[in-house]
């Protein structure tokens, strides 16, 4: 049996980036180094079947779409040292915690839903079309990668926000439908949201801008309104469980009760919906873990974009690539967990072909790399 892989945030200090090669310390130098990295032939240390690059992305790649990130210069962990995301066990076991979570998610969903892929995602599409990228593994839950390049295999390591899953029956529900139910169950909150949208209070995801308006903005569509009456918020039950209450693990029958308006009742023993994301403290499905490892093992190199690798589930994939002697590239603003061990043994005259580390914005650099590359695929 495989050991469960849990999503746990890393809170230790991150090293300052060591730019590799040294002349990749400017946008022009970074573009040249990444061009060399992506177009370099497969290392003789790898099997001939390993041909293309596997891309591993994080929240930094979606910042240009207007979304908040975790550890960037304006990231939640950078500006709000006291921020603590909700953990899986807390969500599953605590009705009040779910009220708070869904109220904040209700406020943040509108902006998240209308956000679109940016130039970095479209550059990835073109790199895939040219055969330079074989797979994308993303930690992001915004669905931008499958939206921008459905033909390029994308593994959503931490799930996605576009739907919900019932923790009792396993059924799925589109988030758009769920949002409509939240609106109907919470007219006062819906009026508050409409006012914020009308006044432009949610127009910016930047934490400083939100703070000026009395809001706290966090990743994954989480908007915190200090001193808000979260306990008044209501959420619906799983419609499948409501129609046919499932059996509980002990073999007994569950009960699903709702109030007069259709909100989930605390007397219920089933029917709880959660976002279809891997929450902190929740295990990643064994099938997803295996698929991510297979994508690494079939590639010739790995390029990390917009991630500090602060979650073990992502960092371990780069560790696996290193153990397979795969060249490693990193395009990320700021430090990356364990990066000091990624580039040991590189030749002094490395031009980026054997490894690259840049600290630049993905939405500016990746499209330029596409323009700089020869029109063909891998060597």
C-alpha pair distances (Å), 255 with each of 259, 287, 315, 327: 13, 31, 41, 54
The active-site residue out of 158, 168, 172, 206 is: 158
- Asked if the structure places residue 69 within a domain, the reply is no
221: left (phi over 0), alpha (psi -120 to 50) or beta: left
Count structural domains, the chain. Answer: 2
pTM > 0.85: yes
Q: Is 121 assigned a catalytic role?
A: no
Q: Do residues 127 and 220 both lie within one domain?
A: no
From residue 239, alpha-carbon distances to 96, 102, 173, 286, 287 in Å are: 21, 17, 9, 27, 27
Residue 231, token pair as written in the block: 């306990």
Single out the residue in 277, 306, 326 at which a domain terminates.
277
Furthest C-alpha separation in the chain: 72
Would 239 be classed as within a structural domain?
yes
- CATH value at residue 312: 3.40.50.1220
What percent of the chain has pLDDT above 90? 74
Does residue 111 sit in the same domain as residue 182? yes
Do 105 and 249 reside in the same domain of the chain? yes
Domain match, 84 and 58 both = no
Dihedral of the alpha carbons of 156, 160, 162, 163, in degrees to the nearest 10 = 110
130 & 189 share domain: no
Q: How far apart, in whole angstroms, are the C-alpha atoms of residue 26 and residue 269?
A: 57
Q: CA–CA separation, 155 vs 309, rounded Å? A: 16
Residue 189 sits in the same domain as residue 85: yes
pLDDT of residue 83: 63
Q: Looking at the structure, do residues 152 and 169 belong to the same domain, yes or no?
A: no
Residue 152 main-chain phi, psi, to 5 deg: -95, 120
**Do 84 and 57 sit in the same domain of this protein?**
no
The model's pLDDT over 221-264, given as tens digits with 9 standing for 90+, comes to 667 777 789 999 999 999 999 999 999 999 999 999 999 999 99
Q: Which two tokens stand for residue 204?
A: 């910016």
Query: In terms of domains, do 153 and 226 share one?
Result: no
pLDDT tens digit sequence for 187-216: 999 999 998 888 776 665 555 555 555 565
Residue 379 domain-assigned (yes or no): no
Q: Are 165 and 148 in the same domain?
A: no
Asked if residue 251 belongs to a domain, the reply is yes
Nearest to 120 by CA among 141, 136, 101, 100: 136
The answer to whether residue 18 sits within a structural domain is: yes
Beta-carbon-side half-sphere exposure of residue 170 (alpha carbons within 13 Å) = 2
**Regions of the chain with pLDDT less than 70:** 1-12, 69-83, 201-222, 376-379
Domain boundary pick from 223, 254, 277: 277
Whether 378 is covered by a domain: the verdict is: no
Note whether 168 and 270 are same-domain residues: yes
28 and 89 in a common domain: no
> Domain boundary residue among 255, 277, 299?
277
What's the pLDDT at 60?
Answer: 93
Please, are residues 355 and 345 in contact by the beta-carbon 8 Å criterion?
no
Asked if residue 71 is part of any domain, the answer here is no
Q: What is the C-alpha separation between 355 and 351, in angstroms, rounded?
A: 8
Whether residue 125 lies inside any domain: the answer is yes
What is the domain range of residue 218? 79-116+161-277
Matching residue, tokens 């630049």: 360
């Amino acid at each position: 049996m495989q050991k469960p892989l849990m999503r746990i945030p890393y809170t230790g200090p991150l090293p300052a980036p060591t730019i590799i090669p040294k002349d990749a310390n400017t946008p022009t130098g970074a573009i040249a180094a990444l061009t060399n990295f992506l177009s370099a032939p497969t290392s003789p240390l790898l099997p001939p079947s390993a041909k293309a690059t596997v891309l591993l992305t994080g929240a930094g790649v979606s910042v240009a779409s207007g979304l908040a990130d975790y550890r960037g210069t304006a990231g939640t962990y950078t500006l709000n040292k006291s921020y603590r995301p909700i953990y899986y066990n807390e969500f599953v076991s605590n009705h009040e915690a779910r009220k708070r979570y869904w109220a904040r998610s209700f406020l943040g969903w509108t902006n998240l839903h209308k956000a679109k892929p940016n130039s970095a995602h479209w550059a990835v599409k073109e790199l895939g079309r040219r055969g330079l990228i074989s797979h994308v593994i993303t930690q992001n839950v915004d669905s931008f990668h499958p939206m921008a390049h459905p033909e390029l295999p994308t593994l959503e390591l931490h799930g996605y926000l576009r739907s919900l899953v019932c923790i009792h029956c396993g059924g799925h529900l589109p988030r758009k439908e769920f949002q409509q139910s939240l609106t109907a169950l919470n007219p006062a909150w819906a009026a508050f949201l409409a006012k914020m949208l009308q006044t432009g209070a949610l127009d910016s995801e930047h934490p400083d801008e939100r703070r000026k308006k009395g809001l706290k903005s966090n990743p994954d569509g989480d908007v915190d309104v200090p001193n808000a009456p979260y306990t008044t918020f209501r959420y619906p039950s799983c419609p499948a469980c409501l129609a046919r209450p499932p059996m509980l693990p002990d073999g007994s029958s569950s009960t699903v009760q709702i109030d007069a308006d259709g909100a989930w009742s605390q007397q219920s023993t089933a029917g709880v919906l959660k976002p279809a994301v891997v929450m902190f403290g929740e295990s990643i499905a064994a099938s997803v873990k295996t698929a991510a490892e297979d994508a690494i093992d079939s590639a010739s190199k790995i390029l990390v974009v917009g991630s500090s690798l602060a979650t073990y589930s992502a960092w371990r994939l780069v560790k696996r690539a290193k153990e397979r002697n795969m060249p490693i590239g990193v395009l990320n603003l700021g430090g990356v967990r364990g990066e000091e061990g990624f580039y040991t043994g590189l030749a002094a005259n490395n031009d980026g072909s054997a490894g690259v580390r840049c600290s630049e914005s993905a939405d500016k650099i990746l499209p330029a790399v596409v323009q700089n590359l020869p029109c063909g695929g891998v060597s």
